[in-house]
Every structure is written in C-alpha cells, then in structure tokens.
Amino acid sequence: MTATARRVLSDLRVAQELLQTERSSDQFRVLWVASVALCRAVGHALQKVDSASSPQLKSAILATYKSWKSSPDLHPVFFEFIEDERNSVLKEYEFGFLSGAGVLSGLVLQDGLLVTLPDNFFCPMSDGLFAGVDCRDVLDLAINWWQQQLAHIERTVAV
C-alpha cells in the first residue's frame, strides 16, 4: 500500500544507523543532509507516488494530511522538525544542530584520566521544541512518527 514511502523510510533508517557511529564532522554533515531529505521524502513519496495506487489509499492519505494540518500541535515532530529542518538544510544550507568537539569541552575525566571526546559525540538541536536534544534522537522520533502514520493510513484503507 505505502510501498514507496516505506522504501524511503527504510533508506532513512540506514542513514540514521550511519549517523550513530559517524565521527567525521564532514561526513556527519553529509549524512545529516541525506537524512533530512529522506525524512521529508517519505511524505512526498506517500502523497505523489503511493496515493496513485488506489482511490481508497489516496483518500486516506489526503485525510491524514488534513488531520496534520488542522492539528499541528498533535504532530510537532512533523512541523517543528521534518518540515523546519528540511527547509533550513535544503533551502538555506543551515543546520539546526550544534556539532564538533566544541559542543562539550572536548575533554572528559574518565577513570581518573582526561580523554578527548570525538567530534559529533553529542549534537544537540540548537533551538525550537527540540533544543538540547541530540539530533539523532530527534531523527529517531521522526522515523517512529512516520512509522505510526503509515500504519494508520494502511489500517484506514484495510477497514
């Protein structure tokens, strides 16, 4: 039913896994751009491709989109992350997270020894509803939100 959107969501999960261990700031940034684009592409694939597969699915997708628009407070991850971060990154090439060794002091006492934290150890969102939350955790919220939305649409059509 939502096969194309689910394929995009699957690729988004791959990008998220890569972000979890990436320590190079340059590669992290490129993976973040890909993740943000994929995160928004789930909805575009749903609306543009999957909706064409049946009138019932198209109706369910339209109704779901309308419910988001009419109650943005119930879908903050969509409006305050998926949409906002996509607009910032893809339209202005500005990032909503802080990164690099300077985010934390870079040196941490561990077992009596000072150790240097790797770049991108903690990359908090810089403002908005998710300020202070690691960007990878916010991405995880978005992935889970998409999973719930796709399941809801599929249940609606199956009834």
pLDDT at 42 over 90: yes
How would you label 56-90 residue by residue, b for 16+ Cβ within 10 Å and e otherwise? ebeebbeebbeeeeeeeeebebbebbbbbbbeebe
Domain limits of the chain?
3-158
pLDDT in tens, 84-116: 999 999 999 998 876 544 344 444 455 555 555
Percentage of residues of the chain with pLDDT beyond 90:
72
Q: What's the chain's average pLDDT?
A: 88
pTM higher than 0.75, yes or no? Answer: yes
pLDDT in tens, 114-127: 555 556 678 889 88
